Amino acid sequence: MAAADRALDDLGARFLEALEARRKGDVDGAAELLRGVLKVEPRLPEPHMELAHILLETGQLGEAEEHAREAIRHLEAGGQWTDDLPESVILGMAWDILGEVLRRIADSDEVVFGDPARFEALMKEARAAFDRAAQIDPSNEHAGGWSRDFDLPPIARRALREVAGDAGDSDGDAGDSDGDAGDSSESDGDSA
């Protein structure tokens, strides 16, 4: 086995260890492991996606946005690392995570009570990200829902979420088809 293959295998093992740490609720440990993987190989989109999701869950939105954009950049350049899920699903999740991050940034008091132009720009970009995610992966119900709901006034969007049972959902999930969006380890909990 070549040294490059062994290095990737080691990164794969560390990535899976990070997913397991996250699954067990050790988000700090998972984030540390993911940062370690990205320090060695910053071109791997799946660790960027997982880290973006953790950062989204913990309210570190600026850094979450950076990692979501980096994941998209690498995925669109054909850099998918894992093959556990189809490329369309992985790329759709990445766009969905970005949409959720942007929506959360727009929803912050700083933006809501700040410059209306910034709010509008963030909401427009979030909608575009959700639209892109839904276009790439039509089975992504979270992205599809937000894509459709953006046409509604905020109070109607909130009422629909309440009826659907996810009102006040503050975990910011953004990505999969079962409503636990953004968990890029949705298939079996082991990979993005």
Asked if residue 185 belongs to a domain, the reply is no
* Digitized pLDDT (tens) for each residue of the chain, 192 residues in all: 566 567 667 888 999 999 999 999 999 999 999 999 999 999 999 999 999 999 999 999 999 999 999 999 999 998 777 777 788 889 999 999 999 999 999 989 999 899 989 998 998 999 999 989 888 888 776 665 666 655 555 655 565 556 556 544 443 443 333 334 444 333 333 333
Asked if residue 92 belongs to a domain, the reply is yes
Q: Nearest-CA neighbor of 54 among 89, 19, 16?
A: 19
Give me the CATH number covering residue 135: 1.25.40.10
Would the pTM of this model clear 0.85, i.e. be above it?
Answer: no
Cα dihedral 59, 63, 68, 71 in deg (nearest 10): -140
Asked if residue 174 belongs to a domain, the reply is no
End-to-end alpha carbon distance in the chain? 24
Asked if residue 75 belongs to a domain, the reply is yes
Asked if residue 188 belongs to a domain, the reply is no
Report the domain count for the chain: 1
Residues spanned by the domain of 13: 3-164
